[in-house]
Amino acid sequence: MSKIIITCAITGSIHTPSMSPYLPITAEQISDNAIGAAEAGAAILHLHARDPENGRPSADPAHFMAFLPQIKQRCDAVLNISTGGSATMTLDDRLAAPKLAQPEMCSLNMGTMNFALYPAAERITEWKYDWEKPFLEGSDDLVFKNTPRDMAHILQELGDKRGARFEFECYDVSHLYMLRHFVDRGLVDGPLFIQFVFGVLGGMGPDPENLTHMKLIADKLFGDTYTFSVLAAGRHQMPLITMSAILGGHVRVGLEDSLMISRGTLARNNAEQVLKIRRIVEELGRTLATPTEAREMLHLKG
Ligand code: KMH
Ligand code: ZN
């Protein structure tokens, strides 16, 4: 099996500061967490920004530029900036920072969809969250807009014009067909790095059968021109990504996807999750890809 790439998604735009005191919010917290994750073995860092005043997701390029240079200076990991931002942002807002920073990688979400956490009630009993929802009011009714024109625009602005390659976020088997459509139009070429996303309410559920089906269809549509990675929300994170490692895929961890390190225990930083999955995959006989190896595997500009 090829070397395994660990991606770490440092803070995201879904979890709120009231859910965990360890969620990185300020530029210093985001860069310290990112560097810790890279030192623990993450080859790719997936990044969003927050407003340090209140922890809200931010599209302000100044908030990104407060941590991107530090991270670049202090580690060699591949920087991957979100183009998903948050479902409340406009497309122009979402693209402002990546257009300015011109990273090696960006995420690209492969369809318009509903986007919510699973019902809070489950989490309160399961994890005893303090579910204050200070700015997620109404988050159970958000439309995450990613139309074919939006996607083509992102590919053109960040891919063609600025040399980024993409983490294609596929929340459903239909998104694989959308990706194939862009390959057929000549707007996307291999090697593709496809992120199978489980456990977002609006996308596919965290059932193992969905992972084997996604792989089956991706094999059919993309043959040897792709590799896949898995992320799963909340308590499904570690089981589903372990399955990815067993199937020859890559893995994504990070506080964007889950705040926990084990049942009932909050992760104190992103590195803890990287070290946990590192231990698991190395026990399974996989070898970690360095950032340089990830760049070679995914044809990044470096
Ligand atoms: N929050 C994840 C479910 C993005 O940033 O473009 C997907 C994600 C989207 O990482
Ligand atoms: Zn993200």
How do the domains of the chain map onto residue ranges?
Answer: 6-298
Phi and psi, residue 26, nearest 5°: -80, 165
**Residues 106 and 80: beta-carbon distance below 8 Å:** yes
CA of 138 to the centre of ligand 1 (A): 19
- Tens of pLDDT, residues 200-226: 988 999 999 999 999 999 999 999 999
Taking the centre of ligand 1 as the mean of its atom positions, its distance from the CA of residue 86, in whole angstroms, is 8
CA-nearest residue, atom 8 of ligand 1: 84
Q: Which ligand is nearest to the CA of 14?
A: 1
Residues 170 and 204: their CA atoms lie apart, in Å, by 9
Residues of the chain with pLDDT under 70: 118-141
Whether this prediction's pTM lies above 0.90 is answered by yes
Q: What are phi and psi of 49, to 5 degrees?
A: -115, 160
- Which fold does the domain 6-298 belong to in CATH? TIM Barrel (3.20.20)
- Compute, in angstroms, the gap from residue 9 CA to the centroid of ligand 1: 9
- In 178-281 the beta strands, taken as DSSP E runs, fall at 192-198, 226-232, 250-253, 260-262, 265-266
Q: Ligand 1 atom closest to Cα of 84?
A: 6
DSSP 257: T
Which residue's CA is minimally distant from atom 2 of ligand 1?
257
The pocket around ligand 1, CB under 6 angstroms, is made up of: 9, 12, 14, 82-84, 107, 109, 169, 197, 200, 256
Give dist(CA 143, CA 5) in Å, integer.
30
Query: Which ranges of 80-196 does DSSP label H, i.e. alpha helix?
Result: 91-101, 120-127, 148-154, 173-184
Q: Beta-carbon neighbour count of residue 224 at 10 Å?
A: 8
Cα(287) to centroid of ligand 2, in Å?
A: 25
CA–CA separation, 259 vs 24, rounded Å?
11
Q: What is the pLDDT of residue 18?
A: 82
